[in-house]
Structure 1
Amino acid sequence: MMQIIKKGFLLAAILAFSGFAHTSFAQATKIRGRIIDSETKEPLPFVNIAFKGTTIGTTSDFDGQYFLETRTPSDLLHISFVGYKEQSFEIQKASFQTINVELKSEAFDLAEIVVTPGENPAHVLLRKIIAKKESNNPSRFDSYQYESYTKMEMDLNNIKDNFKDKKIMRQFQFVFDYIDTSVITGKPYLPVFITESLSDYHFQKKPKVEREIIKASQMSGINDNASLAQFTGQLHQNVNIYDNFIDLFNMGFVSPIADGGLRYYKYYLTDSAYRDGNWCYHVSFKPKRKQEPTFVGDFWVADTTFAIENMQMRIAKDVNLNWVKDLVSNNEYQKLNDSTWFLKKQNLFVDFMISEKDSTKQMGFFGRKSISYKNVKINQPLREEIIKLDNNVVVEETALKQPKEYWDNARPYQLSQREAGIYSMVDSIQNVPLYKNIIDVIQTFVTGYYVKGKFEYGPYYKLYSFNEIEGNRFMFGGRTSNDFSTKIMLNGHLAYGDKDNKLKYGLGFLYMINKLPRETFGVQYKHDIQQLGKSPNAFTEGNILSSLLKRNPNNKLTMVNQLETHYEKEWFQGFSNTLKFRYRDITPTEYVPFNAPDASGNIPISGITSSELELRTRFTKNEKIVMGEFERIHFGGPFPVFNLYLTMGMKDVLGADHDYQKIDLSIEHTLELPPLGNLYYLVTAGKLFGKVPYPLLHMHEGNETYAFDPYAFNMMNYYEFASDQYVSLFVEHHFNGLILNRIPLFRKLKWRTVISGKGLIGSLSDKNNGSLANTDAKMLFPNGLSDVSKPYFEASVGIENIFKFIRIDAMWRLNHLEDNPYQDFENFGIRAMFQFTF
C-alpha cells in the first residue's frame, strides 16, 4: 500500500483525463497572443493565423486569442482577415513567444449588396454533418485494429522566480533547467511525471472483444511495474466527438455536432479551403448559455462526406467543474479511402487548479496526453489468439525492458536533447530527501499509515476512540511495507479499553500468488469488538470519527473471535472468484443479550459459534482500476457490477452449532444520463435456508452516526430489522448543477443537487422469528429488533459540492414511524459526508 498513493495521485489524475490527449513538445515552436482592432481595441474573432508557406495554422477565438504549437514552422507568421491589412512577423524557432497584433482596417469600394432573410449557412452545414454521422462514426465498424503511441505527462505549473529562491527549494535547483511555458495558458511549468507506451489495439463489435497488447512502456520514477504499465496503456475509453455527449470528469459535455447541438451552441461559418486535397469548411462555435457543460472552439469538415477533419474544443470558462481551470482538446482524423475517416491524433491539455484564489498566481498541475494512430485496419477479422487472451490489457514480457534505440524508432517524432533529459530529471527528484518527506506526509494522511523502512504504522485514526463497552479505547497496529516484500504483507494490532479492561488483538497476512491476473491467499484472525448490521462503507470499529459523530450511545457492539481464510482467483479482467472459510465465536453483552426461548422462561446463551464456507463471484466489464502491490481501487466502468455470494454454514466444524445455506446477489451501476446528470442504483436480494439465531440472519444495514453512508439506511438504527429473505433498492440521482446553475445566486456557489430513495422489504420464517415468545426459534430477539414484512422507505434531498468537498442531505424516514420504546430513531435528520468530485 505504501506505493499505491504515490502512484495513485498521479494515476487518478491521469485517469481523469485518460479519454483524451495532448502532445507534449518541449522544444516545439510555441506562439500565443491576442488580435484586436487597432482603432477600437476590440478583439477580432476568426482571424487566420498560419506559418507562411504551410498549412499549419489556426484562427483567433471569440476573445481574439490564439495559440500555435508545431515542430515544423516556417520563418514567418502570417495574419490575415477580411477588411484588414495583412501582416507577417518573423519568429524564433524552437522557443516560446507572445505576438499580440493590432490589425488596421482597409477601405474597399464595393458594389451595392442586398441582404435578404435566410438560414444561417452554418446551420445548413450542421444538419448535413448530423445526417452523415452514422456513416462517419468510427464506432460503426465491425472491427478495427491499429498501432498507437501514447504519452502522458503531469507538470507543476505557474512556477514563479521567488519560488525558486526559497530555502525549501535549494535541494531542487537542478530541476529548473527543464522549465517550459505552456502555449495555451502562458504559464511556466515543470514536468514531474512522464510515461510512454506503444500498443497494438484490437476491437470487434459482435461478439464484443477489446484487446490491447502493450509492446513497450516506460515511466519516470517507476521501474518494472507491470500493473502500472497495464493501467497507463491507452485505456481506449476515448471520447468520440460523434457521440451526442462527451464524458469528461463524470460530466456529460454536449458535443459540438450533437443531434441537438442547435439548442446549446451558436455556429458561424468562417472559411473554406483545400486541406490535404479535401475541400473543407471551417465552423466556429460557442455556448448559448452560461455554466452549461459545453465547449467553445472550431472544426474543419470535409465537403461531400461531411466527415470532421479536425476539431479543437475548449471548455466554456464558467462550467460548473471542480479543480479544472482549463481544458483544450484536439481530434485530428485521417482519410483511409474515399469514404472512410479514422483518428490520426488525439490531444488534450488540462489545467488542474488547486485553489481558485487568483489562479494566475497559485501553483497547480497540467495534465497532458497524446495518442498517435497508425497502421489502421478496418473490418478485418481478429486473429483467434487475440480473442483468446485472458485480459483486455496485456503487457508483453519485454515491454518494460525496451532499449533507447527501440523508443527512438517507435516514437512518431524524435525527442530533442532537452526532452530526453526529462526522464533523468524526474527520476532524480525521487532521491531528494525533501521530496521523500513530502510524499511521506501525503501517504500518511491519505492511507492512514506512516511508512518507516519495512513497516507501516497505523492507521492513525484508530489510535484513540471511545464507546460505552470499552470506555476509552487505545490501539496500536501496522503492517509490513513493500520494502519488506511485494509478495507477502503481514499485519496486526493490539487494542485496550480502560472500562472493560480487556486486551483485543488481530493478526494476519496476504500472499500475492500472481498480480496479473490477480491471485491471492490470506489468513486473518481477530479477537475484538464488532458491530453487526453495519454496511461495508461505514466507519470501522475504533475509528475516532465513529465516536465523535455518533447519534445514539455506541453500545451495540459484540465481542467476536474470528478466523478467516481466503483464496482469490481472477480468471480474466472483470471476472473473479473468492473462496472463504470463516469461523466466528460471538459473545453477548448486557446491551446485546443472547437468550433462548423456553416455556419456563428465557435461558441465557454464552455465545454463538459458526463455521462458514463462502464462494463469491464478481463480474463486470471494462472497469478502471488503480493497483498497488497488494491492494487495488475500483473506479467503476460502463457496465454493472454483479456480486453473487453462496454461503454454507457447517455444523460441528470447529464446534459450530448451526447448519444453513445463504444466497445473496447485488447489482451496482452508475448510469450516465447527460444532460440530466447521472443515476446510481444498487439492487440487493438474499435468502437464507435453515434455522439460525438472529446474529446469523441478515441484519439490515443501519447507521447510528451523523455521517452519510451511501450503502446503509441512514435513518435506520442497528439491530432494528432482520430477515431471512429480502430485497432492497438504493437509487441516487446527481443533477451535476442542472438545477442550481439556473439560479443566479447558486450559480456562483456552484452547488449541485442530489436526491435519493431507499427501500427494503423482507420476511422471517416462523422458525427464525424470535420477536415473540416463539419456542421454535433458536434465539429471542433483543428488544427493538423485528422483521420488515411491512416495507421500509427513506428519502433525501441534498446539496453537494459545498466548498468542493462537502455534501449535506436532509433525510426523511417515510414509514415505520410508530413509537418504539426500545429504538430511539428520528423521522427527520441531517447527514453529511466528505467527497471528492470534479
Structure 2
Amino acid sequence: MLGLLLLLTINTSLLSYGQTTKIRGRITDFTTGEPLPYVNISISGTSVGTITDFNGDYYLETRVKGDSLSVSYLGYAPLSQAIKYNIFQTIDFKLVSNNILMEGVVVRPGENPAHPIIRKIIANKAQNNPERLDHYQYESYNKVEIDLNNVDEEMKNKKIFKQFQFIFDYVDTSAVTGKTFLPIFITETLSDFYFSKNPRVEKEVIKATKISGVNNESVAQFTGKMYQSMNIYDNYINIFNQGFVSPIADLSLWYYKLYLIDSAFIGNRWCYQISFKPRRSQEPTFTGDIWVHDTTFAIVKSNLRMEKSANINFVKDMVVNSEYTMLGDSIWFLKSSNLFVDFNITDRKTTGFFGRKTTSYSNVKFTLDMPDTLSKLAEKVMVKDGALNQDENFWQQSRPFELTKKEAAIYQMVDSVQNVPIYKTFVDIINMVVNYYYVVGYFEIGPYFKTYSFNEIEGNRFRVSGRTSNKFSKKVMVSGFTAYGDKDNRFKYGGDVLWIISKSPRISATIAYKEDIEQLGQSKYALTEDNIVTSFLRRNPNYKLSLVKEFSISYEKEWFHGFSNAITVTQRRLYPTVYIPFEFSDGSGSLSELSTTTVNLNTRWYKGEKFLMGQFDRVSLGSDKPIVNLDLTAGLKDIFNSKYEFYKAHINLFYKVNINPFGYSRIILDGGKIFGKIPYPLLHLHEGNETYAFDRYAFNMMNYYEFASDQYVSLFVEHHFQGFFLNRLPLFKKLKWREVVSGKGLIGTLDKKNLDVMKFPLGLTDVSKPYFEVSAGVENIFKVIRIDAMWRLSYLDNPNIEKFGIRVGLQIIF
C-alpha cells in the first residue's frame, strides 16, 4: 500500500474540470429515533434522487447542480435542507409524524405485490437480456480509479510521509462509505466493441487509452470493457470467485425478501420500484432496489450493494449501479454502469483501497460492421496503433463527462513522485517482499527464501543467487546461482539466459545449464527442495535426491493469446546415490550415470486467456475455458552420449467450473504413454509429496519412488463449497470458514521390458490396480490458511506409508 501511495505528486493545471456534489446521511423518526427505510430523497428541481436502505441510510453523488435536498415519506411531514455544491456533506433528517387519524384497516392474507412483478421479470428475461441479440456493436468509455482510503491526520503526521505532505491537499470523501480517500491511479479507455452470437465473436478495439504512470500496451488491454462486465439477467453474477445471486434470478424468491416501494414515470415510461434484501445472512447476495418497465418488464435501473455479512475476504463493500435505455421499439440496452469496491486487508479501520469503474455506452447498433482485418485476428482485444498517444483535446471531446480536478491531476502525479529519493527505497523494499528479489542497480538478489535449507544429502545448504534487473536490459535477463552443502562438501551451480524476442505475441528463447540436486517424482508446482519452508515441513527424511547435470535450449512462440508452442532440446545426466542406485536387473553391474538427449514439443491451449505482463514475467488472468497442455518427447540415442531411444506423449487438462450456488470445482485430468525400453528413472514416477504442505498437483499421501508407469491416467476433483454449509451453522458463521473436499485416483501399467532394464529401488512398483486418496478440509482460516484431513484408500500394506494425514496450505482467496 505504501508503494501505491508514493506514486503521487500534485501539479497545478489550467484545464476546466467537472464538479461533484457528495451527500450521505440517515433518516430517522423524530420521536422514536427508529431508522426509516424507503424514504424518497431528491435534489430539488432535478431528477436526481434515491431512497434510504433498510437501515435508514442513503447516499447521493451527482454532477447536477441544486440548492436543496428534499425528503418525503408517507405519514410524515416533508422536509428540505440547503446543500452546498461540489463538496462532501453529511445531512441527517428527523421526520415528524403527521399524526393523521385513519379509520381501521382490515388486512387480509394475500400475495406480496412485488412477487407477481418479479415472476414477470423472470418470464421476460430471455427477451430482455442483451445477450439474446444475434449481433450488436457499440462505443464504450471506461474510467477506472484506485484510491487509498482511511487517510487521516495520523497518517499525515507519520515520519515516512514527511516528503509527501503536498499530496494530502487532495484528500476527498466517499459518499458511499463516508471514508476519506486519496486518488492514486486513474485510467481512461475509449473502444469499439463487437458481438456476434453465432458464430460466437467478441472483439474489442481500444482506440485510445490514457494510464497514469504507464505507457504499456499489454496493460492497456485490461482497461477496456472486456472481462469486466456484470449482467443482472444472469442467475449468478460471478465476482471474486463467488456466484452472487441476482435479485431477478429464477430462484430470487428463495434468496430475497422483496418489497414494492413506488411507481413513477422514468422518461415517458411507467415503472415499478422494487426493493430487496437477503433472507439469510452471509450468503452471496445483494441489498438494493430496481426499477422495472411495466410493459416489457425490463430492468430500467438497478442499484446492487453487496450484503455486508457476505463471506468475501478483503472486500468491505461493493456497489453496482446500472442504467438501461430503450433502443427501437423493444430492445433495452445498457446506457451506463458504475462499480465501487472497498478493499481492506483487515476488519479494522486501517488503510485500504477503493476501486471504481465507470462505463458509458454509445453509438449502439444491432448489426456487425466489423473490419475484415479484425475478424481474422485470434485475439479478443486489440490496442490500435497510437492509442497511447492521444492528446488532451481528444479526450475532452471524447469523454461523456468532464473529469474532476483531482481526477485529472493524477496523470501528473506519478512522474514527479518517482524522483523523490525515499520513494525508490520503499519501492525496492516492497518489491523484495512481493517478488522475493532485492534490486541493486543492474542486479536483483534473490529469491531470499532459498538462501538456507537442509536435507539428508547436503546437510546444511547455503545458496547465493540473483538475476539482472530491468535497468540492465528489458530484452535479456541473465540468472545464476551457486550453492554449497557442508555434508557432501560439494558446490552446485547453474544459470540461464532469457531473451524476449517479442512481447505481443510472446516469442522467447532460453539457454540454461545446472549442476544441482533434484527430487525425481515431484510435481512441478511443489515447493522446491532448497526452500527453507520445505526443510521444516518434511514428514520423511529427505534422502531420495539425485544429482543432475542438465543443459537445455528452448524456443517459445505464442501464436495468439491462449495458444502457444515451445520446443526444448535437453541433454541430461543423472547420477545414482546410495539410496537411489542404478543397478542392472541381471546383477551384472551398475551405471555411473544415466545420459539422455531429448527433444520436447509443448502445445498449450487456453482459449480466452489474458495476461498481465511485466518485462519478462507475466501473470495469467485466466479464462472460463479449460487449459490443455500436450507434450510430445523424443529420446535421441547416440546424440551427445545419449544411451536410450524412446518416445513420450503426455496430456494434461485443467478446468475450473462454477456450480452456483454450491461453489466451484477444479478438475485435473492427466494421462500419458511411453514407447520404448528404458530404465526406471525415465519412466513416469508418479508425483508424491513427503511434506505436510498441501500440493494440488501431487498425490499428497503418496511417497516419492512409490509408483512408476509407462502408461497411465489420473483424475483429480476438488470442490470448494464457499461456505455453503458452514454459513448456516451459528458457531461457524462468524468464523467465515469454507468447506473443501477432494478425491484423486490413478491407474497405470508397466511393460515387462521396462522392468528388466534396471533394478527398481526398494518400494517402487507399478500401479496396476487403482490408487485412491480423498480429503475433507476447511479453508479461509484467518483468511489465508487451509487445513485438509486426508485418507489413503488403497495400497495400505505398502511400507512406510501414512493411511491418514493432515496437510496445510497457504493461499490468498477472496
TM-score interval, smaller chain: over 0.9
Equivalent runs, 1:143-154 vs 2, <5 Å: 143-154=135-146
Q: From 584, 604, 621, give the equivalent of 1:635.
A: 621
Contact 2:678-2:754 at 8 Å conserved across structures = yes
Cα deviation per residue 1:280-299 (whole Å; 9 max; x = unaligned)? 11000000111111110001
Equivalent runs, 1:90-109 vs 2, <5 Å: 90-108=82-100
Equivalent runs, 1:492-531 vs 2, <5 Å: 492-531=480-519
Cα separation, 2, equivalents of 1:658 and 1:529: 22
Shift in Å, 1:114: 4.2
Q: Structure 1 residues 57, 427: closer, same or farther in 2, change over 3 A?
A: farther
Cross-structure match for 2:12: none
Amino acid at match of 2:811: Q
Contact 2:636-2:645 at 8 Å conserved across structures = yes
Q: From 42, 45, 48, give the equivalent of 1:53.
A: 45
Cross-structure match for 2:802: 826
Cross-structure match for 1:489: 477
Q: Does 1:604 align with 2:590?
A: yes
Contact 1:178-1:422 at 8 Å conserved across structures = no
Contact 2:183-2:406 at 8 Å conserved across structures = no
Cross-structure match for 2:683: 697
Amino acid at match of 1:402: Q
Contact 1:204-1:382 at 8 Å conserved across structures = no
Q: Does 1:423 align with 2:399?
A: no
Shift in Å, 1:440: 1.8
Q: Does 1:837 align with 2:805?
A: no
The alignment yields a C-alpha RMSD, in angstroms, of 1.7
Q: From 697, 701, 721, give the equivalent of 1:711.
A: 697
Contact 2:18-2:401 at 8 Å conserved across structures = no
The percent identity for this pair of structures is 56
Structure 1 gaps, min length 5: 11-24, 770-776
Cross-structure match for 1:20: none
Q: From 225, 238, 242, give the equivalent of 2:233.
A: 242
Amino acid at match of 2:447: P
Cross-structure match for 2:534: 546
Cα deviation per residue 1:109-168 (whole Å; 9 max; x = unaligned)? 556644333211100100110010000111111122111111111111111112212222
Contact 1:26-1:419 at 8 Å conserved across structures = no
Shift in Å, 1:662: 0.7
Amino acid at match of 1:436: K
Cα deviation per residue 1:732-754 (whole Å; 9 max; x = unaligned)? 00010111111111111111110
Equivalent runs, 1:526-537 vs 2, <5 Å: 526-537=514-525
Q: Does 1:140 align with 2:116?
A: no
SS at match of 2:577: coil
TM (norm. structure 2) is 0.97
Amino acid at match of 1:126: I
Equivalent runs, 1:60-209 vs 2, <5 Å: 60-108=52-100, 110=102, 113-209=105-201
Amino acid at match of 2:439: V
Amino acid at match of 1:731: V
Contact 2:18-2:63 at 8 Å conserved across structures = no
Q: From 631, 653, 663, give the equivalent of 1:667.
A: 653
Contact 1:287-1:294 at 8 Å conserved across structures = yes
Cα separation, 2, equivalents of 1:673 and 1:33: 39
Amino acid at match of 1:442: I
Cα separation, 2, equivalents of 1:390 and 1:45: 51
Cα separation, 2, equivalents of 1:426 and 1:93: 29
TM (norm. structure 1) is 0.94
Q: From 578, 593, 602, give the equivalent of 2:566.
A: 578
Cα deviation per residue 1:483-515 (whole Å; 9 max; x = unaligned)? 111111111111111111111111111111111
SS at match of 1:344: strand
Cross-structure match for 1:649: 635
Equivalent runs, 1:225-264 vs 2, <5 Å: 225-264=216-255
Contact 2:518-2:529 at 8 Å conserved across structures = yes
Q: From 325, 328, 343, give the equivalent of 1:337.
A: 328
Shift in Å, 1:251: 0.5
SS at match of 1:389: coil
Cross-structure match for 1:782: 761
SS at match of 1:125: helix
Shift in Å, 1:323: 0.6
Contact 1:26-1:418 at 8 Å conserved across structures = no
Equivalent runs, 1:735-754 vs 2, <5 Å: 735-754=721-740
Cross-structure match for 2:433: 445
Cα separation, 2, equivalents of 1:42 and 1:432: 52
Shift in Å, 1:230: 1.4
Cross-structure match for 1:773: none
Cα separation, 2, equivalents of 1:634 and 1:575: 13
Corresponding residue pairs, total: 803
Cα separation, 2, equivalents of 1:220 and 1:453: 25
Q: From 598, 603, 606, give the equivalent of 1:617.
A: 603
Cross-structure match for 1:15: none
Amino acid at match of 2:522: K
SS at match of 1:369: strand
SS at match of 1:406: helix
Q: Does 1:322 align with 2:310?
A: no
Q: Does 1:413 align with 2:401?
A: yes
Contact 1:27-1:418 at 8 Å conserved across structures = no
Cα deviation per residue 1:169-189 (whole Å; 9 max; x = unaligned)? 111101111110000111100
SS at match of 2:231: coil
Amino acid at match of 1:693: P
Shift in Å, 1:231: 2.5
SS at match of 1:762: strand
Q: From 811, 817, 825, give the equivalent of 2:790.
A: 811
Q: Structure 1 residues 700, 512: closer, same or farther in 2, change over 3 A?
A: same
Q: Structure 1 residues 91, 355: closer, same or farther in 2, change over 3 A?
A: same
Q: From 255, 280, 305, give the equivalent of 2:271.
A: 280
Cross-structure match for 2:13: none
Amino acid at match of 1:711: Y
Cα separation, 2, equivalents of 1:661 and 1:459: 35
SS at match of 2:732: helix
Cα separation, 1, equivalents of 2:741 and 2:105: 57
Cross-structure match for 2:385: 397
Cα deviation per residue 1:768-810 (whole Å; 9 max; x = unaligned)? 12xxxxxxx2211111111000111001111101111100111
Shift in Å, 1:368: 1.0
Cross-structure match for 1:43: 35
Equivalent runs, 1:468-483 vs 2, <5 Å: 468-483=456-471
Structure 2 gaps, min length 5: 8-16
Cα separation, 2, equivalents of 1:694 and 1:399: 56
Contact 2:3-2:426 at 8 Å conserved across structures = no
Shift in Å, 1:623: 2.6
Q: From 295, 299, 315, give the equivalent of 2:286.
A: 295
Shift in Å, 1:416: 3.3
Cross-structure match for 1:774: none
Q: Does 1:794 align with 2:760?
A: no
Shift in Å, 1:77: 1.3
Q: Structure 1 residues 746, 113: closer, same or farther in 2, change over 3 A?
A: closer
Cα separation, 2, equivalents of 1:381 and 1:668: 36
Contact 2:684-2:710 at 8 Å conserved across structures = yes
Cα separation, 1, equivalents of 2:206 and 2:599: 39
Q: Structure 1 residues 192, 416: closer, same or farther in 2, change over 3 A?
A: closer
Amino acid at match of 2:223: T
SS at match of 2:221: helix
